[in-house]
A = this chain, B = another copy of it.
Amino acid sequence: MPTRGEAIAELVVLLPMFMKTLLEGLETIAGLNVSEKKALMCICKHEGGTMSEYSKRLGLAKGSFTTVADSLEKKGLVERVLGSDDRRKWVLVLTQKGNRIAREIDTRFKQHITAKLARLSEEDLEKLQQALETIVATMEKLHERRYG
């Protein structure tokens, strides 16, 4: 009989497949790749963050996020701004066009997920939501500082 940790390990490896299931068929928008879309959404929800913050949120290496930010800037969707007294730090803000596209992506994404889940019962949806909330709460606990 597996320990609880082992059982969880077995389950965790299936999460990418779940993501794939939910996301497949999501149409592209405005010549943006997946990371660019995620980044735009992330900047929209947490505007004025630094490069490092966004790269962590998106799970990208710092260098990779530089590429993404360059691309979004070139497309006129975000701007780099010197935002504090720390002259190493750049802050990203959405342009008007970037804001409009971010909203569009958000709307379409939610429609897509809703359509994907349309075959589930209301009870299943409620369970799923609770499960996801549990996972997010767990993640936050794991991020709490060790000594504090």
Interface positions of A (Cβ within 8 A of B): 3-9, 11-22, 38, 41, 57, 59, 109-110, 112-114, 116-117, 119-120, 122, 124-136, 138-139, 141-143, 146
9 contacts between A and B (CB under 8 A): A6-B110, A8-B128, A15-B135, A16-B19, A19-B59, A22-B142, A119-B142, A120-B142, A131-B138
Q: Quick check: B136 and A11 within 8 Å, CB to CB?
A: yes
- List B contacts of A12 (CB < 8 A): 19, 22, 113, 132
Please classify the interface of chain A as helix (H, G, I), strand (E, B), loop, or mixed, using the class held by over half of its residues. helix
Other contacts beyond A4-B126, A19-B59: 16, CB < 8 A: A4-B125, A5-B113, A5-B117, A8-B125, A8-B128, A9-B113, A11-B129, A11-B135, A18-B138, A18-B139, A20-B59, A119-B142, A120-B142, A128-B134, A128-B138, A131-B135
